[in-house]
Structure 1
Amino acid sequence: MDKDLHKKSLKLAGRKYKLEDPHEKDSISKALAITHEQVSDAYTEGQIDPVIEEADGKDM
């Protein structure tokens, strides 16, 4: 494996949610923001089977 590619993979694997993630354009930031919102909603509402809602209001 290329050392540069290996370093990039390790950097991605260590990513955590940041408050500015919902405003970023890359797919990792969007996925982290959606997951963070889902966990927060499930924790706050106490639902076992929550509906996943995208930012544009469509249910998945």
Structure 2
Amino acid sequence: MEKKQNQPDTTKLADRYFETDDYQRDDELSAGLAKTHEQVTDDYYEGTIEGKMERDNGETIDIPREGFEGVTKKDTE
């Protein structure tokens, strides 16, 4: 199969990882890495759809489905 002549060299892209400086850089690759990093971080901190919390001791509890008034002190410790 013949390689297209106008195709850019993408091997440089594959060697690149997110760096905190990507938030300040103006190039397209840095902007994409910064945006992807932010999305992954948001998903990580948001948790899973099951609505579970894991305590420090490893115990898993359901996140209460009531408003704030339904949360007891024990649930937040």
TM-score normalised per structure 2: 0.49
Asked whether 1:38 is paired with 2:39, we answer: yes
Unaligned runs of 5+ in 2: 1-8, 50-77
Q: What is the distance in 1 between the residues matched to 2:44 and 2:38?
A: 10
| Structure with greater strand percent | 2
Distance 1:22 1:47 in 2: 26
Cα distance between partner residues in 2 of 1:20 and 1:14 = 16
2:20 corresponds in structure 1 to 19
RMSD, matched Cα: 2.5
Equivalences, count: 45
Larger relative contact order (C-alpha < 8 A, sep ≥ 6)?
1
**Identity value in percent:** 46
Q: How many Å separate the matches in 1 of 2:30 and 2:48?
A: 25
How big is each residue's C-alpha offset from its partner over 1:4-51, in whole Å with a ceiling of 9 and x where there is no partner? xxxx52122111000100100000000000000000000001155xxx
Q: Which has the higher helix share?
A: 1
**In structure 1, what is the Cα distance between the partners aligned to 2:40 and 2:48?**
10
